[in-house]
Structure 1
């Protein structure tokens, strides 16, 4: 599923805050790709990296059109408890805020080449699921 693959790509890029990673475009495009890159650039600029792995529990909320979908809405409750930001210079936690559960909504659309990519997503505040 493109949704899980996008997060896997983001996790790998986050270990070095590689905001220019070509992997990011493999499963994300449009606003989703822009948001991933911007988040990684901000971490890079601030000297942060991300370690660990989020826990995802995605479900398909809707598929349009139902018979031969080209757009899928994904709902998730992602857990960032073991996926935190660290200072790149000394490996220390960036802050004392624990991770937690966040509601995530995403749009996954079929591309002209037949592949599926996340075109937009939103991560809501901690404790929203």
Structure 2
């Protein structure tokens, strides 16, 4: 695996790791969210956490990820890498913050597509992602 694809996968995993940490308290203002995500991806993460915070929800556990690179553009000097994953949210669910009761339907496997772009500072960040319905992979 070359450095670009390795860095893109590291950014993808890092985005979810940062989201897991912030989700434990629904900290939608966590500065860590911007370390591996930007643009639409960062907006979607913060909006989701803000909604959870407003609704009194926190997320416990963590997803199981199995990302792979599905395309690299351009091949000779990558600037954009598409990551495809089948994330498993079975052990990553929302709970009510006030009483700890489960507030989510059972998790499961979902197709995730993400765009990871090379930034001006040469780092890689997820700029957009889509999480599909349960059972899509």
Q: Could you say which TM-score interval applies, normalised by the shorter chain?
A: over 0.9
* Residue matched to 2:66: 57
SS in 2 for 1:44: helix
Instruction: Please say if 1:112 is aligned against 2:112.
Output: no
Match of 1:72 among 77, 81, 86: 81
Alpha-carbon deviation of 1:67?
Answer: 1.3
- Which of 7, 10, 13 aligns to 1:4? It is 13
Moved beyond 2 Å, runs of 4+: none
Query: 1:29-62: CA deviations, max 9, x gaps?
Result: 0000000000000000000000001000000000
Deviation of the 1:92 alpha carbon = 1.0
Indicate the SS of the match to 1:76.
Answer: strand
Q: What residue is the counterpart of 2:99 in the other structure?
A: 90
Structure 1 equivalent of residue 109 of structure 2 = 101
Whichever structure has more helix as a proportion of its residues is 2
TM-score, reference length from structure 2: 0.92
If the length of structure 1 is used for normalisation, what is the TM-score?
A: 0.98
For residue 46 of structure 2, what is the aligned residue in structure 1? Answer: 37
- Total equivalences in the alignment: 128
CA–CA separation in structure 2 for the residues paired with 1:55 and 1:107: 19
Secondary structure, counterpart of 2:31 in structure 1: coil
User: Unpaired runs of 5+ in structure 1?
Assistant: none
